[in-house]
Structure 1
Amino acid sequence: MSAQVRLVEVTDVNRAAVAALRVHPAQERFVASVEKSFQDARDNPDANPWFRAVHDGDEPVGFVMLSWDVVPGPELRGPYFLWRLLVGADHQGRGYGAAVLDEVVALLRAEGATELLTSCVPGEGSPEPFYRRYGFVPTGETDEDGEIILRLDLGSRP
């Protein structure tokens, strides 16, 4: 993998290429599409959606979206919640997912955050093992859709 992995603002110039990214068909039940993510961001402004394209050099290889610095409540987990992490099917297995999380963790630490939450659907093919390898641990909670809630202590990462 190239050392040029970076998080890039989604603009009119790169939006179509980012939206065209797809996970493997078997992963579609676990990871919403980029277009669905854009729609969720528009429909949920209270979640303070923050999203970026993941580029390796000039090529989009993934997408990440968080709820950024929200007041937790019945409808919102936070203050920082990893809402989406998608690496295109053709780009998986190259370390991009962990590299994206490394970038996100650095940004969150700069904001003074101490934890990052996420959720995932359990089952065969779930991203849960990836998140656990990275350092996320289950909180014991599930959300209204049955997804397990995971927490990353930002102090636990180098």
Structure 2
Amino acid sequence: MAAQIRLVEITDANREAVVALRVHPAQEQFVASVEASFRHAAEQPEAKPWFRAVYDGDVPVGFVMLSWNLVPGPELRGPYFLWRLLIGAGFQGRGYGTAILDEVVSLIRADGATELITSYVPGEGSPLPFYLRYGFVPTGEIDADGEPILVLDLTGR
């Protein structure tokens, strides 16, 4: 069964619940916290951060952050870059990651995107197998942080 999700703006009313989401401790090296994501977004407004809480019904289960239609530059990949995809530890393995990407792809395609770019921290337990299953392919590039770059072609989906 496919997960049913909603992408919800983060407000004072839900911020605390969203910030409380945590990945499994073994995954912390691969994905920054929601709180760190807010800090990164504030520190890099030129990256045009767009973020949403992910809800299943009335329960926050995850967080997603993209660079939304930015002008790519030496340090900025885009125009659409998946910056953060986090599923709370107790909600993993239920199809939320795929459902989030399906929703994000739908939104950015409606905005004119032809590809979605992301990167990942390599290592045992990294999200690479998930991204490959979804259809991302390695570009062969490595970013300034040492993270391999992946791209999802949206023209044929």
Please report the TM-score for the alignment, with normalisation by the length of structure 2: 0.97
3-state SS of the aligned residue for 2:53?
A: strand
Residues 131 and 3 of structure 1: CA distance in aligned 2, closer, same or farther (over 3 Å): closer
Partner amino acid, structure 2, of 1:17: A
Q: Percent same amino acid at aligned positions? A: 76
Specify the alignment match of 2:32 in structure 1: 32
In the alignment, structure 2 segments of 5+ residues that lack a partner are: none
Q: TM-score, normalised by structure 1?
A: 0.97
- Structure 1: how far apart are the matches of 2:17 and 2:155? 35
Q: CA deviation at 1:4?
A: 3.5
> How do 1:112-123 and structure 2 match up within 5 A?
112-123=112-123
For residues 14-53 of structure 1, the aligned pairs below 5 Å read 14-53=14-53
Runs of 4+ in 1 over 3 A off after TM superposition: 1-4
Q: CA deviation at 1:60?
A: 0.2
Supply the AA of the counterpart residue of 2:83: W
SS of corresponding position for 1:130: helix
How many residues are paired up?
A: 157
Moved more, 148-157 or 113-122: 148-157
Q: Shift in Å at residue 2 of structure 1?
A: 7.0
Task: Output the CA distance in 2 between the equivalents of 1:110 and 1:82.
Answer: 16
State the shift of 1:113 in Å.
0.5
Q: Give 3-state SS (helix, strand or coil) of 1:155's partner.
A: coil
Q: Secondary structure at the match of 2:65?
A: strand
Query: What residue ranges of structure 1 are gaps of 5+ in the alignment?
Result: none
* Distance in 1 between residues matched to 2:152 and 2:43, nearest whole Å: 26
In the alignment, residue 106 of structure 2 is paired with which amino acid?
A
Residue 120 of structure 1 contacts residue 147 of structure 1 at CA under 8 Å; is this kept in 2? yes
